[in-house]
């Protein structure tokens, strides 16, 4: 997990000081309040028949393992800096080794240690535990357990996940010393991510909005299968006749949908907008925001508008590290899909079922084709990007 450039309109709360406590009752009490505060009120003719995430969690919390702080210190060699594998806005992530429940052998895990002070990190912890304690899908990272302690030295909040050996999509797209990610692999990763999002939106009893879809939150296992991670900003979606939930805008610059940034109205298709941004990242090999580029190129979405998808110059946006190893027709289809995901009006964005269908078609076309872009672009391999 890389450092995030996040924005938030939440006001900071006073530091929490309390005595050591058991975590499970606290999780239930506080998160129910947090979740209900972010839901819009129901209309008279749309009485709620579905249960909330906290209610679903109560049924399934026994599936999560409660770790002691001593166990997790031992797992990470007392949070040794050499074992740190990532850092985010609310804490650090370490590679660790634990004993599985049956006590046989060792299990490699990722352990996120949230910042010790401040209630915002605690909110992220609650959201992670509740959402990941409920969901179950091959394209969502698996939460194995947690540790929650309140003490005189501050709060301790730790989360234990399955270990994702190949880091993140962000790492492979933008890492300085990483080999270029093949075109077909990029497509399959985005297809996996779309299926994970579709499950969140439609596959469980209450719809879930991920709210922070970006390349650093798409993790990759040993076989390069993609899984969505970091559910600290996830929210329950609208139900019944409601079209959105209202909540203070938080997220990462360059990825958040305009209707959410402008009004605080969060919709399922706000996730689709973020998905479109990442589609352009896999096409171009550029981040959504890059301040070290010339002014006209710092914002990815503004820059790509100069090279429309149907123009002869479209190939100019493509990641030069791909070395033309992709069918141009497939790249155009992905760009057209991205453009549809990025339309200003949320209702005009495609459903995830359609996104999945287009990506499957692009994968099939790319697997069955050895086509390259036409020769006029090959002379530009040394073009400075």
Q: What secondary structure does DSSP assign to 93-139, as a single string?
A: EEEEEE--TT--S-EEEEEEEE-SS-HHHHHHHHHHHHHHHH---TT
Alpha carbon separation from 246 to 30, 52, 119, 261, 262 (Å, rounded): 19, 16, 21, 11, 12
DSSP-derived letter for residue 64 is S
For residue 74 the two structure tokens come to 């031992």
Strand, helix or coil for residue 14: coil
Residues 6+ apart with CB under 8 A from 44: none
Distance (Å, rounded) from C-alpha 363 to C-alpha 320?
A: 20
Most distant pair of Cα atoms in the chain: their distance:
69
Q: Where do the H-state alpha helices sit in the chain? A: 23-37, 53-60, 69-75, 119-134, 169-174, 183-202, 258-263, 268-284, 300-304, 328-341, 352-367, 375-378
Catalytic residues: 212
Alpha carbon separation from 292 to 280, 296, 299 (Å, rounded): 19, 11, 11
């Amino acid at each position: 997990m890389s450092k995030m450039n996040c924005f938030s309109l939440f006001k900071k709360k006073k530091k929490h000081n309390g005595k050591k406590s058991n975590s499970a009752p606290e999780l239930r009490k506080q998160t129910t309040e947090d979740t209900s505060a972010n839901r819009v009120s129901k209309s008279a003719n749309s009485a709620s028949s579905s249960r909330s995430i906290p209610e679903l969690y109560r049924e399934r919390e026994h599936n999560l393992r409660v770790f002691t702080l001593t166990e997790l210190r031992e797992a990470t060699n007392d949070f040794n800096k050499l074992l740190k594998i990532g850092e985010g806005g609310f804490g650090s992530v370490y590679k660790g080794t634990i004993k599985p429940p049956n006590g046989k052998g060792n299990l490699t895990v990722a352990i996120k240690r949230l910042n010790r002070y401040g209630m915002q990190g605690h909110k992220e912890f609650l959201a992670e535990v509740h959402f990941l304690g409920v969901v179950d899908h091959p394209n969502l990272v698996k939460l194995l357990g947690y540790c929650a302690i309140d003490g005189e030295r501050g709060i301790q909040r730790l989360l234990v996940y399955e270990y994702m050996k190949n880091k993140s999509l962000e790492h492979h797209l933008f890492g300085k010393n990483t080999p270029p990610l093949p075109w077909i692999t990029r497509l399959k990763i985005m297809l996996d991510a779309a299926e994970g999002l579709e499950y969140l939106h439609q596959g469980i009893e209450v719809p879930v909005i991920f709210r922070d879809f970006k390349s650093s939150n798409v993790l990759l296992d040993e076989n390069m299968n993609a899984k969505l991670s970091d559910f600290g900003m996830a929210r329950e979606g609208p139900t019944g006749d409601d079209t959105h939930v209202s909540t203070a805008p938080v997220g990462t610059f360059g990825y958040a949908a305009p209707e959410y940034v402008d009004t605080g109205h969060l919709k399922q298709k706000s996730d689709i907008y973020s998905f479109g941004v990442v589609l352009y990242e896999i096409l171009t090999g550029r981040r959504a925001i890059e301040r070290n580029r010339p002014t006209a190129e710092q914002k990815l979405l503004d820059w790509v508008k100069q090279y429309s998808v149907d123009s002869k110059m479209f190939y100019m946006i493509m990641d030069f590290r791909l070395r033309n190893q992709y069918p141009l027709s497939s790249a155009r289809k992905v760009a057209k899909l991205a453009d549809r995901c990025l339309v200003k009006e949320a209702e005009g964005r495609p459903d995830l079922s359609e996104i999945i269908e287009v990506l499957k078609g692009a994968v099939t076309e790319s697997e069955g084709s050895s086509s390259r872009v036409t020769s006029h672009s090959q002379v530009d391999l040394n073009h400075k990007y």
